[in-house]
Amino acid sequence: MTIEVPHVPIDPTSAANLANRGLRFDVVAAEPEAVEAFQYAVARGFLDSRESADEKQLRYDRSLERRNSAVRDESNADPLIPIATISSWISDLTVPGGRSIPAWSITSVSVAPTHRRRGIARDLLGAELRTAASLGVPVAILTVSEATIYGRFGFAPSAMSADWTIDTTRAKWTGPTPGGRVHLVSSEAVRDGSGRDIVEAARLLTPGQVEYDGHLFERQFGLPGKPEFDAYRVARYDDEAGVPQGFVIYKNVRLSDTWTVEVQNLVAATDDAYSALWRYLFELDLVRKVTANLRPIVEPFQWQIQDARGARKTGERDHLWTRILDVKAALEARSFGAAGTFVLDITDDLGFAEGSWLLDAGTGTVQKVDAVPVGAHHLAMSANELAAIYLGGTSITTLVRAGRIRELSDGAAAAADASFRSPVTPWLSIWF
Ligand SMILES: CC(C)(COP(=O)(O)OP(=O)(O)OC[C@H]1O[C@@H](n2cnc3c(N)ncnc32)[C@H](O)[C@@H]1OP(=O)(O)O)[C@@H](O)C(=O)NCCC(=O)NCCS
């Protein structure tokens, strides 16, 4: 899909709503002064401190790849600084079956404290969703600061994340010893060398991962001027043929007389790379503890250590939030684990996903219907539950038990679970 997202015009409905309240809603021009005012408003909205010149430059470069929209209040003391901000771009989202779907990616949602709770964010989100749908983008995605904001716009968590703490004195590696080699390399060797290819290969293995590059990729290695830039170490796994297949970025933290390794990101394009890199971390001398945040809620390493209680999940929460805009395109893009026909009655306050949809999971086709064909399983839910089950990480039976999905024919939930469930637990490894 080739759409020049930064130049897509502003949504007229939200622009008119905001104009009625004396506010101006525009796409931010790609000019240094306007972009800097936009970035200043974003940083202020997220309670960040002022940035260094290096950071400003990086953010400026990044912002040119995105569509930045801003609301300004001409009656404000400083009318050039937006009172509300939002950014978007299209990235490929991996869905079950190793395929990708274009996803309208949203970030930098902020409204100034002086203008909160007047419905401005509602107009920002409505504008993004209508714009994405009008361009034929089938889903929207975001990572969120609070879990209470986006449900009302039809989003739901579709991939969870976990924080792990591994006591390496207990864990003891019992998993495979791959035949390739782990090399200690410079950050630059991976950042400017094989890193992007590894990220791209790895993301297709897991539903919920997104294609990422530019600032989102480079900041993994620490940004110049930030303490992480000097602290991070990088190890790379090359397979037996010498091809780089994975890397880990980590830092060593000293706590009295012991050391902890904090994993910033571990990316593996093969199972061998995964095993070799975790083994490397678990067997580091002087180190007693390895911590890793923003990891999947299910890790193969749980089955690769002698004492399973040596690896503890210390946190688990929603991470990737998804919104289905085009039911047919979204469902037809993914694969299903078992055949079966399903009618999904979807309600949607914003209209995008509304209707009864017949899914033939055997052929992977979807059509809108007026009646339930004989033999089809029948379920009813809102756009939120459809988003929650989309990547195959949320049990439909659980949502029926929670009263969130209605099972309108016997056995529909169990049959749908068999079809929708992803064998690989959905996971997104970055914030955006
Ligand atoms: C979150 C934020 C963008 C909301 O902006 P806003 O203009 O005040 O939101 P709106 O007035 O449009 O609110 C729309 C609805 O969301 C609700 N809402 C807004 N912020 C909320 C929050 N933080 N928690 C729970 N509900 C919230 C409002 O009560 C309103 O509900 P209703 O429609 O049922 O009446 C703003 O508070 C903000 O900038 N927060 C700090 C930055 C941040 O966390 N951004 C989100 C990044 S993912």
What atom of ligand 1 comes closest to residue 142's alpha carbon? Answer: 48
For residue 380, give the CATH number of its domain: 3.30.1050.10
Domain final residue, candidates 254, 282, 316: 316
Give the pLDDT confidence score for residue 48 in this predicted structure: 83
Ligand 1 contact via 47 beta carbon (within 6 Å): no
For residue 19, give the CATH number of its domain: 3.40.630.30
Please check whether residue 425 lies inside any domain of the structure: no
Residues 300 and 401 in one domain: no
In whole angstroms, give the CA distance from residue 100 to residue 335. Answer: 11
Residues 76 and 24 in one domain: yes
What atom of ligand 1 comes closest to residue 143's alpha carbon? Answer: 48
Q: How far, in Å, from the CA of 117 to the mean position of ligand 1?
A: 6
The predicted model scores a pTM of 0.96
Please check whether residue 432 lies inside any domain of the structure: no
The domain of 362 spans: 326-420
Ligand 1 contact via 41 beta carbon (within 6 Å): no
Ligand 1 contact via 148 beta carbon (within 6 Å): yes
Report the nearest-CA residue for atom 21 of ligand 1: 149
Ligand 1 contact via 119 beta carbon (within 6 Å): yes
Ligand 1 contact via 109 beta carbon (within 6 Å): yes
Give the pLDDT confidence score for residue 52 in this predicted structure: 67
Residues 250 and 362 in one domain: no
Length of the chain: 432
Please check whether residue 430 lies inside any domain of the structure: no
Report the nearest-CA residue for atom 34 of ligand 1: 152
The three state secondary structure string of the chain is CCCCHHHCCCCHHHHHHHHCCCEEEEECCCCHHHHHHHHHHHHHHCCCCCCCHHHHHHHHHHHCCCEEEEEEECCCCCCCCCCEEEEEEEEEEEECCCEEEEEEEEEEEEECHHHCCCCHHHHHHHHHHHHHHHCCCCEEEEECCCCCCCHHHCCEEEEEEEEEEEEHHHHCECCCCCCCEEEEECHHHHHHHHHHHHHHHHHCCCCCCECCCHHHHHHHHCCCCCHHHHHCEEEEEECCCCCEEEEEEEEEEEECCEEEEEEEEEEECCHHHHHHHHHHHHCCCCEEEEEEEEECCCCHHHHCECCHHHEEEEEEEEEEEEEECCHHHHHHHCCCCCCCEEEEEEECCCCCCCEEEEEECCCCEEEECCCCCCCCEEEEEEHHHHHHHHCCCCCHHHHHHCCCCEECCCCHHHHHHHHHCCCCCCCCCCCC
Ligand 1 contact via 4 beta carbon (within 6 Å): no
Ligand 1 contact via 111 beta carbon (within 6 Å): yes
Residues 20 and 117 in one domain: yes
Query: How many domains are contained in the chain?
Result: 3
Per-10-residue mean pLDDT, the chain, length 432 = 86 98 96 93 87 71 87 96 97 97 97 97 98 98 96 98 97 97 97 97 98 92 85 98 98 92 98 98 96 98 97 97 98 98 98 98 98 98 98 98 98 98 98 96
Give the pLDDT confidence score for residue 331 in this predicted structure: 98
Please check whether residue 399 lies inside any domain of the structure: yes
Mutate to test the pocket of ligand 1, among 86, 105, 115, 122 (most ligand atoms within 8 A of CB): 122
Residues 169 and 287 in one domain: yes
Short-list 363, 356, 312, CA closest to 335:
363
Mutate to test the pocket of ligand 1, among 21, 85, 117 (most ligand atoms within 8 A of CB): 117
Q: How far, in Å, from the CA of 147 to the mean position of ligand 1?
A: 11
Please check whether residue 339 lies inside any domain of the structure: yes
Residues 344 and 294 in one domain: no
